[in-house]
Each structure stands twice: as structure tokens, then as C-alpha cells.
């Protein structure tokens, strides 16, 4: 499988692999000041929606209808997710939002597919789609991709 790191971070602002702009990196940053203005919930929600829409589009391209949660870590006690739970794409979108909001962490898996989030509002896909396809889908949602090494953690 090929692995891709996806983010909202424009590579024009990377110097020697380090992102140089001061930008929000988490749901918990809502209300903090970036570039002289408060980071608004609406901006967060739009970006989160773009991430989730990309996930859903890739699932359609790969003809994946069901995903399993693996390696589940819950950070809020009232979450209903369970290890090995099977999700349709609608529930996968809700799970992805919970991961992006750092309520939990886990992988969504299917045959030939793995999705997970990372620190600083990154998400990762491992699948057999061609790099150009991943890049084209990301661009559609204002996101950027980097090919990366698959890391099972």
C-alpha cells in the first residue's frame, strides 16, 4: 500500500521540512489568536468537513462500504465507539470527526485501506490509489498531500 499524509498546510510555507507559519493545529485552538484574528469555530468546522469529505470520497473511489475500528483510544468517557466495531461511511464520518476533535484516536480499516489522524491536524491514508488520484481529491477540498512511509502506529 502507498501511504499519504494529508493536511491543510500549504507546502509553500515549509522550509527544510518544517512548517513556518503560526497556524491553528487543533480543535482546542478555537478562540486563540492567529495572524491577528481569533480562530473561529466556523473556520474549524469548514476544515474538518473538508477532511471528512476527502475520506468519504476516497471510500467511494475504493468501493469501500464498511470499515472496522482498530487500536481505539478513548479520551472522553461517554464515547460509544468500540474496538472492532464495523461502521458504514456515515458512522465513519462521525468517528473521523471525533478523532479530529481529539475525543478519541483509532484507525479505520478495510481490506487494502487504513485511515488515521496524527498530531497537529494531520491525517494519514494507506491504500492502493495512485498518488495523482490522492492529490487530485485533496486539492478538491483545499488540502495538500505528501507521500510518506507507512507506519502501523
Residue 152 has pLDDT above 90, yes or no: no
Q: pLDDT by residue (tens digit) across 25-66?
A: 999 999 999 999 999 999 999 999 999 999 999 999 999 999
Distance between CA atoms of residues 58 and 128, nearest Å:
11
Full domain range(s) for residue 129: 2-10+44-148
Question: pLDDT band at residue 17, thresholds of 50, 70 and 90?
Answer: confident
**Parallel/antiparallel/unpaired status of strands 2-7 and 122-127:** antiparallel
The reply to whether 60 falls in a domain is: yes
The reply to whether 32 falls in a domain is: no
The reply to whether 97 falls in a domain is: yes
The reply to whether 107 falls in a domain is: yes
The reply to whether 133 falls in a domain is: yes
The reply to whether 34 falls in a domain is: no
Please tell me the total count of domains within the chain.
1
Q: Say which DSSP state 13 is in.
A: G
Give the three cell numbers for residue 146. 505528501
The reply to whether 143 falls in a domain is: yes
The reply to whether 56 falls in a domain is: yes
Amino acid at each position: 500500500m502507498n501511504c499519504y499524509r494529508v493536511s491543510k498546510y500549504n507546502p509553500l510555507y515549509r522550509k527544510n521540512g518544517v512548517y513556518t507559519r503560526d497556524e491553528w493545529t487543533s480543535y482546542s485552538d478555537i478562540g486563540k489568536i492567529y495572524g491577528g484574528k481569533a480562530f473561529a469555530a466556523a473556520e474549524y468546522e469548514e476544515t474538518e468537513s473538508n477532511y471528512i469529505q476527502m475520506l468519504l470520497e476516497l471510500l467511494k473511489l475504493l468501493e469501500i462500504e464498511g470499515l472496522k475500528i482498530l487500536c481505539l483510544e478513548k479520551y472522553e468517557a461517554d464515547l460509544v465507539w468500540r474496538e472492532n466495531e464495523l461502521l458504514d461511511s456515515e458512522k465513519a464520518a462521525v468517528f473521523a470527526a471525533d478523532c479530529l476533535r481529539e475525543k478519541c484516536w483509532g484507525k479505520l480499516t478495510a481490506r487494502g485501506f487504513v485511515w488515521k489522524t496524527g498530531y497537529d491536524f494531520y491525517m494519514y491514508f494507506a491504500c492502493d490509489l495512485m498518488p495523482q488520484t490522492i492529490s487530485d481529491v485533496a486539492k478538491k477540498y483545499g488540502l495538500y498531500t505528501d507521500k510518506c512511509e507507512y507506519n502501523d502506529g
